Amino acid sequence: MHTSTPLAGIRVLELGQLIAGPFAAKILGEFGAEVIKVEPPQGGDPLRKWRLLHEGNSVWWEVQSRNKRSLALDLREPECQQVVRRLAGQCDIVIENFRPGALEEWGLGWEALHALNSGLIMLRVSGYGQTGPYKDRPGFGVVGEAMGGLRHLSGEPGRPPVRVGVSIGDSLAALHGVIGIMMALRQREQHGGQGQYIDVALYESVFNMMESLLPEYSVFGAVREPAGSSLPGITPSNAYLCKDGKYALVAGNGDSIFKRLMTAIGRPDMAANPDYAHNDGRARHAGVIDAAIGHWTSALTLDEVLAILDQARVPAGRVYDIADIAADPHYQARDMLLDAALPDGTPLKVPGIVPKLSASPGAIRRPAPQLGQDTQDILDSLGVTAEQQQDWLARGLIAKNPKRR
């Protein structure tokens, strides 16, 4: 382990599956924490079978579970629950994203584990949180995105709301969880070594991103509606069709930027118009301003538009798909497209590590594990005898790496 990593010496027990809990653990692992992932011995984490598969295994898994060790263990069985208790006693952090109450039913809830390890920090991610009238409802990211207000804003006016193309609610919950963990570690360090639990709800993680929605409703009774590619109340910020059928994204909503934009598109009159000097005035005339920009872009190709706006120092860009990303030199230069390999040696590109720390950057120290790859080593370290492991294996309580005994 590299001692220069920020989380060197921190041990994490991951009890979650799919996205929210595991994504949080992934980030901790990239910055030096040891992550032990517990997954069911029959099939493992369902994410192993999500999206596109290579030789029966998800290529997404190779990213989500890098830097982790796999302990295949049936959490429903008392013997396995005892293993988790022993591990929790040796860990700094436990991460889980089961429905509220599930761990308590297994004797692995916060009170039980905290009694064994007073310094333990426990991240609990769920759809609606550990309390409240909805806490027992099943909650996936899509539901949290809708309840948090995001789904209502997504899409075109007058058409059905659309989802963001990724599970953004789960990922936002994971990021909030990591923030909570880092603050809890700081609190523990400063105040006598006592741990605490962190209650992250998916819908709250989404709601926390909703900017001005609530205060505007509170003061004005305003309910923001979907606005397609524009950013309501902030002008100009939109997607504009170019001559070649592609769209230019233009964000000219800073006061000085707006003047440069209007000059660049041949409308110095609009740049000098005092009604457009500040955003509130521009927002009242969004249709006129958008029409002027759209008229200009319609006569040029996307590349021509971007070249002119780059010269004028106006923020603008193209709509990237993954092929654009994979070919982009800026992504390459910032190590955001890393080379890896699947278990059979097939080359694999994986996303780089964020955030970028200057003195102690994150790293990929080991690839995603095979199911149960580390079961024997972990159980050996806990003093579980080979005979007992063989018994558990025969009963389906654990799984092991088929390369091992």
Active site residues per annotation: 170
- Give residue 160's Cα distance to chain centre: 25
User: Residue 201 CB: number of other CB atoms within 10 A?
Assistant: 27
Q: What is the dihedral of CA 384, 386, 391, 392, to 10 degrees?
A: 50
- The amino acid sitting at 262 is M
The span from the CA of 270 to the CA of 277, in Å, is: 9
Instruction: Output 282-288 pairs: Cβ under 8 A, ≥24 positions apart.
Output: 282/235, 282/236, 282/253, 282/258, 283/233, 283/234, 283/235, 285/235, 286/230, 286/235, 286/236
- The amino acid sitting at 358 is S
Q: Specify the pairing of strand 34-39 against strand 68-73.
A: parallel
CA of 149: how far to CAs of 218, 240, 360, 366, in Å? Answer: 15, 26, 37, 38
Which residues in 380-393 are b (16+ Cβ under 10 Å) and which e?
eeeebeeeebeebb
Residue 17 contacts by C-beta under 8 Å, 6 or more apart in sequence? Answer: 39, 45, 46, 47, 97
DSSP codes joined into one string, 254-279? SHHHHHHHHHHTT-HHHHH-GGGSSH
Contact by Cβ (8 Å): 398, 44: no
Edge-to-edge strands, sheet with 316-318? 237-241, 247-251, 316-318
Q: What are phi and psi of 35, to 5 degrees?
A: -115, 120
In a 10 Å sphere around its CB, with 0-12 CB exposed, 13-18 middle and 19+ buried, how is residue 198 labelled? buried
